[in-house]
Amino acid sequence: MPPGRPRLDLEPFKDEIIEAFNRRETVESMLKGLAAKGYEINGKTFQRRLREWGLYRYSKTPNKKNGRNSTAATSAAAGQSSFSARASTSAAEESTAQSATQARAPSVTTPVTIPPFLQPITQHGDIPGSEDEDDDDDGGDSSASILSADSSPKAPRNNSSIFNTYLERLKPLSRSSAPRPHLHMSQRVWTRQHPAGFGLEMSLAAIRDPAAAPIPIPSPPRDVEVIQQECDSFTFQSFTYEDAFELGHLLHARLLPFALVNKKPTVISIALANSQQVLFQTAVGSGSLPDNETWVQRKRNAVLRWGCSTWLLHNKLGGDEQLFASKFGMSTEQAGKYAIHGGGVPIRVQGVEGVLAVVVVSGLKQDEDHGVIVDVIKAHYQ
């Protein structure tokens, strides 16, 4: 180190560096993390500090044909052996001194605890004290280092306590203490209660009674976790053109009084996810505009891209269109292809991965667009 240059104090980051080292992060990755925190350090100086802490990096796949790699590995092994030898000699000297002390004063017992010199290196995913990443729709950066810019220095922890925690986590959980998976709405399988043609009969009955008062639509929850559990998506036992025909007419029967009595026309659209082939679509009442078709397409695009209801997206982002665009790195034009307004619900099928179809309602308030789909499915499916 050049004279007059201050020695960088890495002790506040020692614990984080050890955890990153055990996670098999590269030296370059750890140096970038330190640089983001304002600590510029030379690579050789950093590796020398690692060796001072008893941390040695070995090549995962050494090249037998490359003499330099084999020489470096031999030197590293020699350094490790030398360190172990010094540690063993030191431990032997302490043990001899302790025996001599006990011989002079047998009534006094002073236990000597030798701290571990090296923290056990574990495989990725089995790091003691590691935290699971939060499941999020934003698809967070999974490659972020533990030495991130927004992390603060932590007090170094004892390596032995970390290893003990690791051993405790290896013990099997009892049946009573084992966590049980939470049943989400998408995991429940729904089956149609009525035979084919029932939805058409309901629709015809609504047409024959134009003065019928509309049934109020229950307001869906706004809490994100409650939405995911109760009304984000629905998993059916099967979903064919017949199911789309029935569900479409059930929605038509429910929404027609809103158009005839309250003068609120709507558009219903049910399309497959793979090719966006429309299985059922109709305008409910007179007065719907071409703009409703645009809203239908935007809601469907959002469901197909993020695999959840547009009502969930709306509440997760607080209805902030600018936050929505910046969160997913989209320009204003790109964000305009999607709508984070309620009314788009994904349909899944048991045993089939991903979204199979999308049900969209447009024309009412966004909570009513979403709520009518949920209410009709829960009323006619079990």
| Mean pLDDT computed over 218-229 | 94
Say yes or no to pLDDT of 88 above 50: no
347 is a domain residue: yes
206 and 109 together in one domain: no
72 and 196 together in one domain: no
8 A C-beta contact, residue 265 and residue 288: yes
51 and 121 together in one domain: yes
CATH number of the domain enclosing 224 = 3.30.450.150
- Rounded Cα distance between 229 and 345, Å, is 14
215 and 102 together in one domain: no
**Cα separations in angstroms, 109 against 99, 103, 112, 341:** 10, 10, 10, 73
328 is a domain residue: yes
206 and 125 together in one domain: no
- Per-residue pLDDT band at 167 (split at 50, 70, 90): low
| Domain total of the chain | 2
- Per-residue pLDDT band at 169 (split at 50, 70, 90): low
155 is a domain residue: no
| Mean pLDDT computed over 107-125 | 44
8 A C-beta contact, residue 239 and residue 196: no
Say yes or no to pLDDT of 294 above 60: yes
**In this structure, what token pair is assigned to residue 206?**
């609504």
Nearest to 233 by CA among 370, 339, 110: 370
User: What are the backbone angles phi and psi of residue 284, rounded to the nearest 5°?
Assistant: -100, 110
Beta-carbon neighbour count of residue 99 at 10 Å?
Answer: 9
- Rounded Cα distance between 267 and 360, Å, is 8
124 and 193 together in one domain: no
23 is a domain residue: yes
Say yes or no to pLDDT of 198 above 70: yes
Query: Of 130, 150, 174, which residue constitutes the final position of a domain?
Result: 130
91 and 201 together in one domain: no
Query: Of 114, 130, 146, which residue constitutes the final position of a domain?
Result: 130
User: Rounded to two decimals, what is the model's pTM?
Assistant: 0.54
Mean pLDDT, the chain, whole residue set: 76
- Rounded Cα distance between 279 and 283, Å, is 14
8 A C-beta contact, residue 373 and residue 230: no
- What's the pLDDT at 161? 67
| Mean pLDDT computed over 2-21 | 73
User: What are the backbone angles phi and psi of residue 360, rounded to the nearest 5°?
Assistant: -130, 135
62 and 126 together in one domain: yes
- What's the pLDDT at 59? 47
Say yes or no to pLDDT of 331 above 70: yes
Nearest to 376 by CA among 213, 220, 208: 220
| Mean pLDDT computed over 51-63 | 64
8 A C-beta contact, residue 336 and residue 363: no
333 is a domain residue: yes
Which tens digit of pLDDT belongs to each residue from 340-371? 999 999 999 999 999 999 999 999 999 999 99
Q: What is the domain extent for residue 98?
A: 8-130
103 and 35 together in one domain: yes
208 and 111 together in one domain: no
> Which of the residue ranges 73-77, 309-313, 355-359 would you say has the lowest mean pLDDT?
73-77
- What's the pLDDT at 32? 84
Q: What 3-state class would DSSP assign to 347?
A: strand
301 is a domain residue: yes
- What's the pLDDT at 70? 45
> Which of the residue ranges 195-199, 272-276, 314-318 would you say has the lowest mean pLDDT?
272-276
Say how far residue 349 (Cα) sits from the centre of its chain: 23
Say which residues have a Cβ less than 8 Å from residue 158's Cβ, sequence separation at least 6: 115
> Which of the residue ranges 41-45, 157-161, 180-184, 376-380 would you say has the lowest mean pLDDT?
180-184
**In this structure, what token pair is assigned to residue 223?**
């809490």
8 A C-beta contact, residue 233 and residue 345: yes
1 is a domain residue: no
Say yes or no to pLDDT of 119 above 90: no
- What's the pLDDT at 26? 86
369 is a domain residue: yes
Say yes or no to pLDDT of 44 above 90: no
Say yes or no to pLDDT of 61 above 90: no
